[in-house]
Amino acid sequence: MQSSSNTSAALAALLIALAPVAGHAADAVTSGALLSLPARSGNLLNTADSAAARAERAARPALSEEAPRETDVWGRIRTGYAIPDLDNSLVAKHVTWYSTRPDYIARTTARASRYLFHVVNELEKRGMPTELALLPFIESAFNPQALSSANAAGMWQFVPGTGRDFNLKQNVFKDERRGIVASTDAALTYLQRLYDMFGDWQLALAAYNWGEGSVQRAIKRNQALGKPTDFESLAELMPAETRNYVPKLQAVKNIIANPGQFGLSLPLIDNQPYFTAVDKTSDIDLTIAAQLAELSVDEFKALNPQFNRPVITGGEKTKILLPQENAEKFHLNLAQWGRALSTWTTHKITGARERIETLASKFHTTPEVIRQANNIPQKSMLVAGSTILVPKISSSLNVDITSEVADNATVNYVADRGGKRASGYKAAKGGKAADEAPVKLVKARVPRHTAGRKGHRNDD
């Protein structure tokens, strides 16, 4: 009995001594057993689930709701690292790039502080690796207004076609590719779908950037040659953007894991929600919404970047995001407002052409007000079928813009050449060309998830 007791005590002491080491090992785990944390979400697109992904989901225990919670969101991210580490020259190159730009890191992490709690929460709900919360560092520098030359938009950089595949509404009034909640849900659903397809998070990330078809073809090529099909073995077949994509994420992951090692500091992000969703009961001007919430317009837009126009439409299904402490102010100020919440309505062009100056006179405003509200360039005329925002007049003071109008509105224009025949035709963002237009349609082709799909981003 005495010998057994001594043995037990010695074993307990050994476990206590090893506990810190085990904790550090878990942060940097590269074991296949902890490679991924598959989703439990029921809204994944139909896909061929890999055997590895299914087996791992079945073997992994459910996350305990009683597990100790970090006090800082960065700590939660580090604790949930679960993608195998890369260690090569590209990672070292990108670590050097990021770590020698403290101003860039400061701007990016300051923007990220609004969104990270929500992203990490969603990842943990789905059982996904938390370093995926750092992917917007690479995609957009956490700028939800980022737009690439390939028309990829938002924090997660969805091109229009892929955005529609994931039910991100895109019209004249709203582009949900920029919406914080909607785009995060779509991005995580897509990433999980890609992991289920490949059974490997590094390949899933490559597919997010390059396209799943491109990764599948690269795998088949290496298989035919008897070569490995992991990310590093396939990297030589990838375009430069994709070849650098996972190393960039690894570089950011290394810096977030130990910022002091690189002479950097991170802003404190409390482990609590930054924003909450507020129901909207009628049309409301963006500036009035910001005023009621006692926020600057820039801060309001940072949480609600999906709204393209000066009025927020959409009826009861549309919500706005506000910082926790400003939501109560919004409700109190709204109850005391006593005035119209929206000063805008819509007007549909029925004539073949209509000059902005004529419309401005009709609605008692200036041409510049109409151009700015509808993103219409100088020296342009609107064509039949266009639906534009105009200031409300007495007959429309209490009338909201219907969801049908908002969903189907287009803004189409031609060059105003002072009575001369126009030689070009342009559909505004979210618009379509009128079939009867007797001039050439100018239409940009936007690639889907293909090599270089994102192009240069205006993200900083």
Q: For residue 396, what pLDDT is reported? A: 65
CA distance 18 to 88: 29
Are 364 and 331 members of one domain? no
Range of the domain at 305: 275-335
Are 86 and 185 members of one domain? yes
Domain boundary pick from 262, 290, 311: 262
Residue 394, token pair as written in the block: 């007495």
| 235 or 415, higher pLDDT | 235
**Residue 13: inside a domain:** no
pLDDT tens across 286-321, in order? 999 999 999 999 999 999 999 999 999 976 678 999
**Residue 363: inside a domain:** yes
| 231 or 352, higher pLDDT | 231
For residue 190, the one-letter residue type is: Y
pLDDT tens across 254-266, in order? 999 999 999 999 9
- For the residues 7-27, what does the mean pLDDT come to? 39
3-class SS of residue 389 = strand
Q: Tell me the angle at which helices 180-198 and 212-224 cross, rounded to the nearest 10 degrees.
A: 20
Q: For residue 30, what pLDDT is reported? A: 31
- pTM (whole model) above 0.85: no
Least confident of 375-389, 396-410, 426-440: 426-440
Q: For residue 31, what pLDDT is reported? A: 30
How many C-beta atoms surround the C-beta of residue 240 within 10 A?
A: 9
pLDDT tens across 81-133, in order? 999 999 999 999 999 999 999 999 999 999 999 999 999 999 999 999 999 99
DSSP letter assigned to residue 384: T
Are 39 and 78 members of one domain? yes
3-class SS of residue 17 = helix
- Would you put residue 458 in left (φ > 0), alpha (ψ -120 to 50) or beta? beta
CATH number assigned to the domain comprising residue 126: 1.10.530.10
Q: How much of the chain, in percent, has pLDDT values that exceed 70?
A: 75
Rg (C-alpha) for the chain, rounded Å, is 26
Give the full edge-to-edge strand order of the sheet including 441-442: 353-355, 380-383, 412-415, 425-427, 441-442
Residue 375, token pair as written in the block: 């993103």
Strands 344-348 and 353-355 turn out to be unpaired
**Residue 196: inside a domain:** yes
**Residue 51: inside a domain:** yes
**Residue 84: inside a domain:** yes
Query: What confidence category does residue 398 fall into, taking pLDDT thresholds of 50, 70 and 90?
Result: confident
Are 54 and 88 members of one domain? yes
Instruction: Assess whether pLDDT exceeds 90 at residue 202.
Output: yes
Are 256 and 301 members of one domain? no
Are 361 and 310 members of one domain? no
| 385 or 398, higher pLDDT | 385
Are 422 and 365 members of one domain? yes
Identify the helix (H) or strand (E) that includes residue 387: strand 387-391
**Residue 4: inside a domain:** no
Are 151 and 113 members of one domain? yes
Our answer to whether residue 139 is catalytic in this structure is: yes
How many C-beta atoms surround the C-beta of residue 452 within 10 A?
A: 16
Are 145 and 35 members of one domain? yes
Instruction: Assess whether pLDDT exceeds 60 at residue 41.
Output: no
Are 38 and 179 members of one domain? yes
3-class SS of residue 442 = strand
Instruction: Assess whether pLDDT exceeds 60 at residue 65.
Output: no
Q: 307-342 as b/e, with b when 16 or more CB fall inside 10 Å?
A: bbbbbbbbeeebbbbbbeebbeebeeebeeeeeebb
Are 316 and 385 members of one domain? no
Give the C-alpha distances (Å, rounded to integers) separating 215 from 52, 90, 292, 355: 17, 20, 49, 50
**Residue 449: inside a domain:** no
Residue 425, beta-bridge partner list: 414, 441
For the chain, how many structural domains are there in total?
A: 3
Domain boundary pick from 230, 262, 294: 262
Q: Which residue is associated with the tokens 């070569």? A: 227
Are 258 and 280 members of one domain? no
Domain boundary pick from 235, 262, 289: 262
Instruction: Assess whether pLDDT exceeds 70 at residue 400.
Output: yes
- For the residues 372-377, what does the mean pLDDT come to? 95
**Residue 22: inside a domain:** no
Query: What confidence category does residue 444 fall into, taking pLDDT thresholds of 50, 70 and 90?
Result: very low
Query: What confidence category does residue 240 fall into, taking pLDDT thresholds of 50, 70 and 90?
Result: very high
Q: Pick the catalytic residue: 56, 131, 139, 354? A: 139
CATH number assigned to the domain comprising residue 326: 3.10.350
